[in-house]
Structure 1
Amino acid sequence: MSRMITALLIGLVFGTGIALSGMINPAKVLNFFDVAGTWDPSLAFVMGGALIVTAIGYRLVLKNPAPLLDTAFHLPARKDIDLPLLAGAGLFGVGWGIAGFCPGGSIPALGLGQPAALIFVASMVCGIAVTRLIRR
Protein backbone atom coordinates (compact mmCIF):
# COMPACT_ATOMS: atom_id res chain seq x y z
CA MET A 1 0.00 0.00 0.00
CA SER A 2 2.83 2.43 0.79
CA ARG A 3 4.22 1.93 -2.74
CA MET A 4 0.89 2.94 -4.26
CA ILE A 5 0.61 6.02 -2.06
CA THR A 6 4.20 6.96 -2.89
CA ALA A 7 3.50 6.51 -6.62
CA LEU A 8 0.37 8.64 -6.31
CA LEU A 9 2.25 11.42 -4.52
CA ILE A 10 5.10 11.37 -7.04
CA GLY A 11 2.57 11.47 -9.89
CA LEU A 12 0.81 14.43 -8.30
CA VAL A 13 4.08 16.33 -7.88
CA PHE A 14 5.07 15.54 -11.49
CA GLY A 15 1.66 16.49 -12.89
CA THR A 16 1.61 19.71 -10.88
CA GLY A 17 5.06 20.63 -12.17
CA ILE A 18 4.05 19.87 -15.75
CA ALA A 19 0.88 21.97 -15.35
CA LEU A 20 2.65 24.92 -13.68
CA SER A 21 5.38 24.95 -16.33
CA GLY A 22 2.83 25.15 -19.13
CA MET A 23 3.85 21.87 -20.75
CA ILE A 24 0.20 20.73 -20.88
CA ASN A 25 -0.58 23.64 -23.19
CA PRO A 26 0.16 22.53 -26.78
CA ALA A 27 0.33 26.15 -27.98
CA LYS A 28 3.09 26.96 -25.48
CA VAL A 29 5.04 23.87 -26.51
CA LEU A 30 4.60 24.58 -30.23
CA ASN A 31 5.74 28.18 -29.69
CA PHE A 32 8.92 26.81 -28.12
CA PHE A 33 9.65 24.98 -31.38
CA ASP A 34 8.76 28.01 -33.56
CA VAL A 35 12.18 29.70 -33.44
CA ALA A 36 11.49 31.74 -36.58
CA GLY A 37 8.10 33.04 -35.42
CA THR A 38 6.49 33.28 -31.99
CA TRP A 39 9.36 31.61 -30.14
CA ASP A 40 8.83 31.16 -26.40
CA PRO A 41 12.12 30.18 -24.69
CA SER A 42 10.52 29.57 -21.27
CA LEU A 43 10.37 25.79 -21.72
CA ALA A 44 14.15 25.72 -22.14
CA PHE A 45 14.37 26.94 -18.55
CA VAL A 46 11.87 24.27 -17.46
CA MET A 47 13.90 21.55 -19.16
CA GLY A 48 17.18 22.94 -17.87
CA GLY A 49 15.80 23.05 -14.33
CA ALA A 50 14.56 19.47 -14.65
CA LEU A 51 17.97 18.37 -15.91
CA ILE A 52 19.75 19.98 -12.95
CA VAL A 53 17.34 18.46 -10.39
CA THR A 54 17.67 15.04 -12.05
CA ALA A 55 21.47 15.17 -12.13
CA ILE A 56 21.66 16.10 -8.46
CA GLY A 57 18.97 13.56 -7.53
CA TYR A 58 20.72 10.70 -9.30
CA ARG A 59 24.01 11.52 -7.57
CA LEU A 60 22.36 11.51 -4.15
CA VAL A 61 19.98 8.57 -4.59
CA LEU A 62 22.38 6.18 -6.34
CA LYS A 63 24.74 6.35 -3.35
CA ASN A 64 22.22 4.14 -1.54
CA PRO A 65 22.37 0.35 -1.99
CA ALA A 66 18.69 0.24 -3.07
CA PRO A 67 15.62 2.49 -3.31
CA LEU A 68 13.45 2.86 -0.22
CA LEU A 69 10.56 0.80 -1.59
CA ASP A 70 12.38 -1.83 -3.67
CA THR A 71 15.24 -4.28 -3.36
CA ALA A 72 17.34 -2.88 -6.24
CA PHE A 73 17.60 -0.01 -8.71
CA HIS A 74 16.22 -0.83 -12.15
CA LEU A 75 18.49 1.12 -14.48
CA PRO A 76 19.03 0.48 -18.20
CA ALA A 77 21.84 -1.98 -18.80
CA ARG A 78 22.47 -1.01 -22.43
CA LYS A 79 24.53 2.04 -23.24
CA ASP A 80 24.80 1.69 -27.01
CA ILE A 81 23.00 3.92 -29.49
CA ASP A 82 21.16 1.79 -32.04
CA LEU A 83 18.58 2.27 -34.77
CA PRO A 84 15.50 1.59 -32.59
CA LEU A 85 16.70 4.18 -30.08
CA LEU A 86 17.31 6.80 -32.78
CA ALA A 87 14.01 6.00 -34.53
CA GLY A 88 12.11 6.22 -31.24
CA ALA A 89 13.75 9.53 -30.34
CA GLY A 90 12.95 10.86 -33.81
CA LEU A 91 9.31 9.77 -33.61
CA PHE A 92 9.05 11.29 -30.14
CA GLY A 93 10.38 14.62 -31.41
CA VAL A 94 8.21 14.67 -34.51
CA GLY A 95 5.12 13.74 -32.51
CA TRP A 96 5.86 16.40 -29.90
CA GLY A 97 6.42 19.00 -32.60
CA ILE A 98 3.20 18.14 -34.44
CA ALA A 99 0.85 17.64 -31.50
CA GLY A 100 2.40 19.89 -28.87
CA PHE A 101 2.10 17.05 -26.36
CA CYS A 102 4.70 14.71 -24.97
CA PRO A 103 3.68 11.62 -22.98
CA GLY A 104 4.50 13.32 -19.68
CA GLY A 105 2.42 16.39 -20.47
CA SER A 106 -0.50 14.58 -22.03
CA ILE A 107 -1.51 12.64 -18.93
CA PRO A 108 -2.04 15.72 -16.72
CA ALA A 109 -3.82 17.39 -19.66
CA LEU A 110 -6.33 14.53 -19.59
CA GLY A 111 -7.34 15.71 -16.13
CA LEU A 112 -8.30 19.06 -17.62
CA GLY A 113 -10.60 17.36 -20.13
CA GLN A 114 -8.70 18.52 -23.22
CA PRO A 115 -10.06 16.58 -26.24
CA ALA A 116 -6.68 16.87 -28.01
CA ALA A 117 -5.02 15.19 -25.03
CA LEU A 118 -7.51 12.31 -25.20
CA ILE A 119 -6.78 11.81 -28.91
CA PHE A 120 -3.03 12.00 -28.28
CA VAL A 121 -3.09 9.51 -25.38
CA ALA A 122 -5.31 7.09 -27.32
CA SER A 123 -2.92 7.29 -30.28
CA MET A 124 0.06 6.81 -27.98
CA VAL A 125 -1.49 3.71 -26.38
CA CYS A 126 -2.22 2.28 -29.84
CA GLY A 127 1.35 2.97 -30.92
CA ILE A 128 2.71 1.21 -27.83
CA ALA A 129 0.44 -1.80 -28.48
CA VAL A 130 1.50 -2.04 -32.15
CA THR A 131 5.17 -1.79 -31.19
CA ARG A 132 4.78 -4.60 -28.65
CA LEU A 133 3.08 -6.78 -31.28
CA ILE A 134 5.86 -6.11 -33.81
CA ARG A 135 8.60 -6.90 -31.28
CA ARG A 136 7.03 -10.30 -30.47
Structure 2
Amino acid sequence: MRILTSYLIGLIFGVGISISGMANPAKVLNFFDFTGSWDPSLAFVMGGALLTTFLGYRFVLRNPKPLLEESFKLPTRSDLDVPLIAGSAVFGIGWGIAGFCPGGALPALGTGRTEVFLFVAALLAGVFAAKAMQRVAAAKSASA
Protein backbone atom coordinates (compact mmCIF):
# COMPACT_ATOMS: atom_id res chain seq x y z
CA MET A 1 0.00 0.00 0.00
CA ARG A 2 2.84 2.38 0.88
CA ILE A 3 4.59 1.79 -2.46
CA LEU A 4 1.37 2.37 -4.42
CA THR A 5 0.64 5.54 -2.46
CA SER A 6 4.19 6.82 -3.03
CA TYR A 7 3.91 6.06 -6.73
CA LEU A 8 0.60 7.89 -7.07
CA ILE A 9 1.87 10.94 -5.15
CA GLY A 10 5.00 11.03 -7.32
CA LEU A 11 2.92 10.66 -10.47
CA ILE A 12 0.64 13.54 -9.49
CA PHE A 13 3.67 15.68 -8.61
CA GLY A 14 5.44 14.87 -11.89
CA VAL A 15 2.36 15.59 -13.99
CA GLY A 16 1.85 18.88 -12.12
CA ILE A 17 5.48 19.87 -12.66
CA SER A 18 5.19 19.06 -16.36
CA ILE A 19 1.87 20.88 -16.87
CA SER A 20 3.10 23.96 -15.00
CA GLY A 21 6.22 24.23 -17.15
CA MET A 22 8.62 23.80 -14.23
CA ALA A 23 10.36 20.97 -16.14
CA ASN A 24 11.15 23.36 -19.00
CA PRO A 25 14.36 25.25 -18.18
CA ALA A 26 13.62 27.96 -20.77
CA LYS A 27 10.35 28.83 -19.03
CA VAL A 28 12.08 28.89 -15.64
CA LEU A 29 14.96 31.04 -16.93
CA ASN A 30 12.46 33.47 -18.47
CA PHE A 31 10.87 33.81 -15.03
CA PHE A 32 14.22 35.05 -13.71
CA ASP A 33 14.85 37.37 -16.70
CA PHE A 34 13.31 40.57 -15.31
CA THR A 35 14.89 42.86 -17.92
CA GLY A 36 14.26 40.68 -20.99
CA SER A 37 11.54 38.19 -21.80
CA TRP A 38 10.14 37.96 -18.27
CA ASP A 39 7.44 35.30 -17.86
CA PRO A 40 5.53 35.79 -14.57
CA SER A 41 3.44 32.61 -14.94
CA LEU A 42 5.64 30.59 -12.59
CA ALA A 43 4.82 33.03 -9.80
CA PHE A 44 1.26 31.72 -10.01
CA VAL A 45 2.54 28.13 -9.89
CA MET A 46 4.60 28.90 -6.79
CA GLY A 47 1.74 30.86 -5.23
CA GLY A 48 -0.60 27.93 -5.80
CA ALA A 49 1.93 25.58 -4.25
CA LEU A 50 2.33 27.83 -1.21
CA LEU A 51 -1.42 28.11 -0.73
CA THR A 52 -1.88 24.35 -1.08
CA THR A 53 0.92 23.70 1.41
CA PHE A 54 -0.40 26.29 3.88
CA LEU A 55 -3.89 24.81 3.85
CA GLY A 56 -2.71 21.21 3.59
CA TYR A 57 -0.49 21.37 6.67
CA ARG A 58 -3.33 22.83 8.73
CA PHE A 59 -5.66 20.04 7.61
CA VAL A 60 -3.22 17.12 7.87
CA LEU A 61 -1.60 18.09 11.19
CA ARG A 62 -4.98 17.98 12.93
CA ASN A 63 -4.63 14.19 12.86
CA PRO A 64 -2.69 12.47 15.64
CA LYS A 65 -0.52 10.61 13.09
CA PRO A 66 -0.19 10.11 9.34
CA LEU A 67 -2.12 7.31 7.64
CA LEU A 68 0.92 5.23 6.65
CA GLU A 69 3.45 6.11 9.37
CA GLU A 70 3.65 5.92 13.14
CA SER A 71 4.30 9.63 13.60
CA PHE A 72 4.84 12.88 11.73
CA LYS A 73 8.49 13.60 10.94
CA LEU A 74 8.63 17.37 11.29
CA PRO A 75 11.71 19.57 11.65
CA THR A 76 12.67 20.35 15.22
CA ARG A 77 15.10 23.19 14.53
CA SER A 78 13.94 26.71 13.77
CA ASP A 79 17.25 28.60 13.82
CA LEU A 80 18.98 30.00 10.76
CA ASP A 81 22.57 28.84 10.49
CA VAL A 82 25.33 29.20 7.90
CA PRO A 83 24.77 25.78 6.24
CA LEU A 84 21.05 26.53 5.78
CA ILE A 85 21.63 29.99 4.32
CA ALA A 86 24.56 28.85 2.15
CA GLY A 87 22.60 25.83 0.90
CA SER A 88 19.63 28.04 0.06
CA ALA A 89 21.88 30.41 -1.86
CA VAL A 90 23.53 27.58 -3.80
CA PHE A 91 20.09 26.14 -4.58
CA GLY A 92 18.80 29.48 -5.89
CA ILE A 93 21.92 30.24 -7.91
CA GLY A 94 21.89 26.75 -9.43
CA TRP A 95 18.20 27.05 -10.27
CA GLY A 96 18.80 30.42 -11.93
CA ILE A 97 21.77 29.18 -13.94
CA ALA A 98 20.47 25.76 -15.01
CA GLY A 99 16.74 26.42 -15.08
CA PHE A 100 16.13 23.23 -13.11
CA CYS A 101 15.42 22.55 -9.48
CA PRO A 102 15.42 18.96 -8.18
CA GLY A 103 11.62 18.86 -8.18
CA GLY A 104 11.49 19.83 -11.84
CA ALA A 105 14.53 17.86 -12.99
CA LEU A 106 13.51 14.44 -11.72
CA PRO A 107 10.26 14.30 -13.73
CA ALA A 108 12.15 15.78 -16.71
CA LEU A 109 14.46 12.75 -16.75
CA GLY A 110 11.67 11.07 -18.69
CA THR A 111 12.32 13.42 -21.60
CA GLY A 112 15.72 11.80 -22.15
CA ARG A 113 17.40 15.19 -22.68
CA THR A 114 21.15 15.18 -22.00
CA GLU A 115 21.11 18.44 -20.01
CA VAL A 116 18.63 16.96 -17.54
CA PHE A 117 20.88 13.96 -16.91
CA LEU A 118 23.90 16.27 -16.51
CA PHE A 119 21.98 18.40 -14.01
CA VAL A 120 20.88 15.38 -11.98
CA ALA A 121 24.45 14.01 -12.03
CA ALA A 122 25.75 17.38 -10.76
CA LEU A 123 22.97 17.42 -8.15
CA LEU A 124 23.96 13.98 -6.87
CA ALA A 125 27.65 14.96 -6.86
CA GLY A 126 26.74 18.00 -4.76
CA VAL A 127 24.73 15.89 -2.32
CA PHE A 128 27.61 13.43 -1.88
CA ALA A 129 30.14 16.28 -1.53
CA ALA A 130 28.00 17.99 1.13
CA LYS A 131 27.64 14.72 3.07
CA ALA A 132 31.41 14.17 2.89
CA MET A 133 32.02 17.69 4.15
CA GLN A 134 29.61 17.08 7.05
CA ARG A 135 31.47 13.86 7.98
CA VAL A 136 34.82 15.67 7.91
CA ALA A 137 33.46 18.52 10.06
CA ALA A 138 31.94 16.04 12.53
CA ALA A 139 35.21 14.11 12.76
CA LYS A 140 37.17 17.34 13.38
CA SER A 141 34.80 18.47 16.13
CA ALA A 142 34.86 15.01 17.73
CA SER A 143 38.67 14.98 17.85
CA ALA A 144 38.96 18.53 19.19
Q: Smaller-chain TM-score range?
A: over 0.9
Structure 1 distance, partners of 2:59, 2:47, is 19
Q: By how many angstroms is 1:46 displaced?
A: 0.2
Which residue identity is paired with 1:106? A
Q: RMSD in angstroms over aligned alpha carbons?
A: 0.5
| Counterpart for residue 4 of structure 2 | 5
Number of the residue aligned with 2:51: 52
Look up the match of 1:102: 101
In the alignment, which residue of structure 2 is the partner of 1:129?
Answer: 128
Residue of structure 1 equivalent to 2:65: 66
Provide the residue aligned with 2:138 in structure 1.
none
Deviations along 1:62-93, whole A, 9 cap, x unmatched?
00001000000001100001110000000000
| AA at the equivalent of 1:119 | L
Secondary structure of 2:36's match?
coil
Question: Aligned AA for 2:126?
Answer: G
Q: TM-score, normalised on structure 2?
A: 0.93
SS at match of 1:71: coil
- Deviation, 1:119, is 0.2
User: Displaced runs of 4+ in structure 1, greater than 3 A?
Assistant: none
For structure 1, the 5+ residue unaligned runs are none
